[in-house]
Amino acid sequence: MNDTAQLMYSPERHAILSPSGSFRLTPMTCSLGAELFDVNLGDVSRDDALFAELRELLLEYKVLFFRDQDMSRAEHVALAERFGPLEDHPVAGSDPEHPGLVRIYKDLDSPAEHYENAFHCDATWRANPPMGCVLRAVETPPVGGDTIWVNMALAYEKLPDRVKEQIGGLRARHSIEASFGAAQTLEQRHALHDRFPDAEHPVVRTHPDTGEKILFVNSFATHFVNYHTPDNIRYGIDYAPGSSNLLNYLISQASIPEYQVRWRWTPNSVAIWDNRSTQHYAVQDYWPAVRKMERAGIVGDRPF
């Protein structure tokens, strides 16, 4: 090996020990994310102490990454169920033998769709959005198909004080009808809305475990529901387009690279993320290659 090769950075070589010494990990960026090494997630799904430490690391780093996890679908589900019950997806569906395990398979026969390649927090159109997700790569492109995650607690922290004051009491509407339903027929869209009426959430939510304040609007958010007050409105233009301009500004914070981490998938790699404090973006730059993922979403609580 030449000197240049020896100087190349190796995340595994620079790993540190977790507080109990059970895991070796390397932080991915200054903002969020850590890659863990020498971990068998199937074992973690069966071990109370290992899972408890994994959960604490998730709260600290917000998204955890693993490679070479040749685990079964049953182990995948068992690991996710450690966090809580799993939820189905009304559009994507789930594996018939493993309810809650959603197959996100993209190949040359897949319909053209563009739901994942926007910064979003999963299923905020639910009254109780998911607490988090466990996503495993089954088949990956030779290049491309990365996923980006964003620290939305940091995005809130870095907002100007005047904006924090303005949005402190605001609430926003989140809609599956205006996102997944927008590509459906009128009848299908209305039926979807009947099953999943728009949800209303605080623009700034509080993390139930860490107490962090989190900017909680994304591409599922359609409008503020309580913006029209004497403090905000002098003339109609302050509401339209004034409120939508503010919403778009807040949604755009997820696109700031300093708040992000980007992960290159390989077969049997896994990401576990806290859906309450992050957003993510699945980059669709790999056509005509194939990308097959399996995701277990964990039922969450009502944002406050």
Residues belonging to the active site: 120, 122, 280, 295
Q: Are strands 171-174 and 221-224 parallel, antiparallel or unpaired?
A: antiparallel
Q: What is the CA 290 to chain-centroid distance, rounded?
A: 22
Query: Are 120 and 278 contacting, i.e. CB atoms less than 8 angstroms apart?
Result: no
User: How far from 221 is each of 20, 105, 148, 176, 218, CA to CA, in Å?
Assistant: 40, 26, 20, 9, 6
Buried b / exposed e over 217-238, threshold 16 CB at 10 Å, is bbbbbbbbeebeeeebeeeeee
Please provide the size of the chain in residues. 304
Identify the CA nearest to 170 among candidates 256, 235, 245, 229: 229
User: How far from 29 is each of 26, 61, 62, CA to CA, in Å?
Assistant: 9, 10, 12
Which residue in this structure is represented by tokens 């997806």?
89
Residue 70 backbone dihedrals phi, psi, to 5 degrees: -85, 65
Residue 139: what residue type?
A: E
Helix (H) or strand (E) holding 51: helix 48-61
